Structure 1
Amino acid sequence: MTSLSDNKAVLIAGPTASGKSALALELAQKASGVVINADSMQVYRDLRVLTARPTAEEEADVPHRLYGHVDAGVNYSVGHYVRDAADVLAEAQRAGWLPIFVGGTGLYFKALTRGLSAVPQVAEAVREGVRLRLARDGVEALHAELSRRDPAAGARLNVRDRTRIARALEVIEATGRPLADWHADTTPPLLPAGGTRALFIAPERETLYARIDARFDVMLDGGALEEVARLAARGLDPLLPAMKAHGVPALIRHLRGEISRDEAATIGKADTRHYAKRQFTWFRHQLPEFEWLAPDAARAWVVSV
């Protein structure tokens, strides 16, 4: 393993509930680091409990950045994240902190290490128009329209994938160019190869799934349901990312009286386990340069720092 002094930043990725946040905190304590969020749900201030954000005590112990800094009503994109991360990296350099990025959102890590496609901002009026048509006409109609205007995207996307179909239509309406064209134009990475230590924490699957289930129960007992009730009361667009966080849709159904609390918990746990499985697959294929370590081996490295 390379020594810590060889790195301008440390990247700690892994599936949800793998213990990566605790690892990042320990490393930051030992190495004068700043813990930088790389989880697309932990950016939302409305979801501290349900997304297992660091506690207030942990945030006070060492510097933490990009946690809970976005309102749930914002459609926070990878582009927003990279711009915010650039500001934090500049702050870390001025302060002499080791940047420690930690999270499970593969697209964030890919943008940091590979660069970001130059998709421009879509005007809110365009986005709202697409969403209104989605609600009025249904996802199949929008998929058919997308297939006419951008055949490659239509063929690639599942006919039920509301979010990605809407996004592809928004871009082509706003710019006149398919999303794939914009993805071909990539900005330089903030963290190019050679200057980082990139780890993927890979627990044994059954142990991880048991931790996911146990943690969901702890979150429910710790205020997650009340948190979701406050979020639901805002009447936000259900297509917003925060409204699709694992557990949120099922708990909203429970709050409406459609299903029991136990049924909502069962759905939330299953959704989270399925997401963890996808995280393993995504990182294996999309970011093979990350070094896979069992939790004990990763912590042994931190202890040796």
Structure 2
Amino acid sequence: MRYFLLGPTASGKTEVSLELAEKLNAEIFSMDSMLVYRGMNIGTAKPTAAEQAKVPHHLLDLVSPSEEFSVAKYLEEAHKAEMDVRSRDKAALYVGGTGLYFKSLLFGLFDGPPIPGALRTELEEQLANGNRSDLREELRRGDPDLYGRLHENDDKRLLRGVETLRVTGQPLSEWQEQWKGHRPVEEPAAALIWDRSQAHNRVEGRFGAMMEEGLLEETRKILDGSGFGRSARQAIGYRQVLEHLEEDIPLSEATLKSITATRRLIRRQTTWIRNFPGIQLIPMKVGISAQDVGTKIANFWLS
């Protein structure tokens, strides 16, 4: 049996999942694209050792921050972990906010068109040589929809968009639309949703706590060790702290940029969650306990 607990960043998923897993006889499966990276603990709000001791967790700490990690690899690891828990008569409780992981688990992987390795290498070299603006302009002309949704530092999607245009002449956004559709969720799924003003307040407090816990030192340690690959470098919080360390922007500015980027992410996550018919939306508010929320969701799923 599989269950899904979703929610934007800073919505309280970890606390609720611990309560919920016990009621469902389940183990927790991370559904967050940044929790796969070892050592990126504070900035990703990764479940602590104490929290992981309460309920077994899967799909955490799979690769170094210097490595890339694909959706296909995530699905492969998820399948192996599901087989393991089923052999012990346990359920899988997926917890996270990465929409692509969620959609791929439900509906299969969006592969897109095959891309010649030589073209990908060529584009990566162009990017490395400082031609990001030319590639972004090429994407703007050929796929304005994707361009409008693309963060200025999202090189992974930039390259994917440009290479799709060059190979097929068709925008990647059109390929994605054909795959996305509006299929309902037919497995038990709930999402924690906060009022926008309360969500904004939670983000500010959460990032301040991360800085106090040592996010700056954690980022510096990774930078001096394995280093950050292209994907891990895009993680909100780490990206801004790296700007402080590598480009000398003031730490106060990096903090403000992190808070702003997180709030934007929450808006995007909330939008895609609401676009899925079949997800039970759980209104959250200050003062509500994780135990009460877990009980409410479990009763709904098990009734």
TM-score range, shorter chain: 0.7 to 0.9
Matched, 1:299 2:294: yes
What's 2:26 paired with? 33
Q: Secondary structure at the match of 2:214?
A: helix
**C-alpha distance 128-225 of structure 1, shift in aligned 2 (>3 A):** farther
Q: What residue identity is the alignment partner of 1:11?
A: F
**2:48 aligned residue:** 55
Amino acid at match of 2:294: R
Secondary structure class of the residue paired with 2:109: coil
Answer yes or no: is the 8 Å Cα contact 1:43–1:68 preserved in 2: yes
Letter of the structure 1 residue corresponding to residue 244 of structure 2: H
Q: TM-score scaled by structure 1?
A: 0.81
Q: Equivalent residue for 1:78?
A: 71
In 2, the alpha carbon distance for the partners of 1:235 and 1:71 equals: 7
Q: Tell me by how many angstroms 1:146 deviates.
A: 5.3
Q: Is the 8 A contact 1:46 1:68 kept in 2?
A: yes
Q: Does 1:272 align with 2:262?
A: yes
Query: Partners of 1:231 and 1:62 in 2: how far apart?
Result: 27
* Alpha-carbon distance in 2 for matches of 1:100, 1:216: 26
Structure 1 residues 227 and 185: CA distance shift in structure 2, 3 A: same
Coordinate RMSD, CA, aligned = 3.1
CA offsets per residue over residues 203-262 of structure 1, 9 Å max, x none? 222222111111111111112111111233358566x12101111122122224622222
Task: Rate the CA distance shift 1:124–1:230 in 2: closer, same or farther, 3 A.
Answer: farther
Alignment of 1:233-272 (within 5 A): 233-234=224-225, 236=227, 240-256=230-246, 258-272=248-262
Question: Retained in 2: the 8 A contact 1:127–1:170?
Answer: yes
**TM-aligned CA deviation for residue 141 of structure 1:** 2.0
Matches within 5 A, 1:136-147: 136=129, 138-145=131-138
What CA distance in whole angstroms lies between the structure 1 residues aligned with 2:151 and 2:261?
Answer: 17
Q: CA separation of 1:184/1:268 partners in 2, compared to 1, >3 Å: closer, same or farther?
A: closer
- Please, which runs of 5 or more residues in structure 2 have no aligned partner? none
Deviating beyond 6 angstroms after TM superposition, the runs of 4 or more aligned structure 1 residues are 120-125
Give 2:223's match in structure 1, choosing from 229, 232, 253: 232
**Number of residue pairs aligned between Structure 1 and Structure 2:** 287
List aligned pairs for 1:61-210, cutoff 5 A.
61-119=54-112, 126-136=119-129, 138-145=131-138, 151=142, 153=143, 156-158=146-148, 161=152, 162-163=154-155, 164-170=157-163, 179=172, 193-194=185-186, 196-210=187-201
1:118/1:185 contact within 8 Å kept: no
Partner-residue secondary structure (3-state), 1:17: coil
Distance in 2 (alpha carbons) for counterparts of 1:65 and 1:218? 25
User: CA 1:299 to 1:253, structure 2 compared with 1: closer, same or farther past 3 Å?
Assistant: same
- Cα–Cα, structure 1 residues 106 and 217, in superposed 2: closer, same or farther, change >3 Å? same
Contact 2:8–2:192 under 8 Å retained in 1: yes
C-alpha displacement at 1:124, in angstroms? 6.9
Give the structure 2 partner of residue 4 of structure 1. none
Q: How big is each residue's C-alpha offset from its partner over 1:130-185, in whole Å with a ceiling of 9 and x where there is no partner?
A: 1220233523422455578xx4x366434875522211334567x76855687589
> Following the alignment from structure 1 to structure 2, what is the Cα–Cα distance between the partners of residues 160 and 211?
23
- 8 Å contact kept, 2:119–2:163: yes
Q: 2:13 aligns with which of 8, 20, 24?
A: 20
- SS of residue in 2 equivalent to 1:45: coil
Aligned-pair identity in percent equals 30
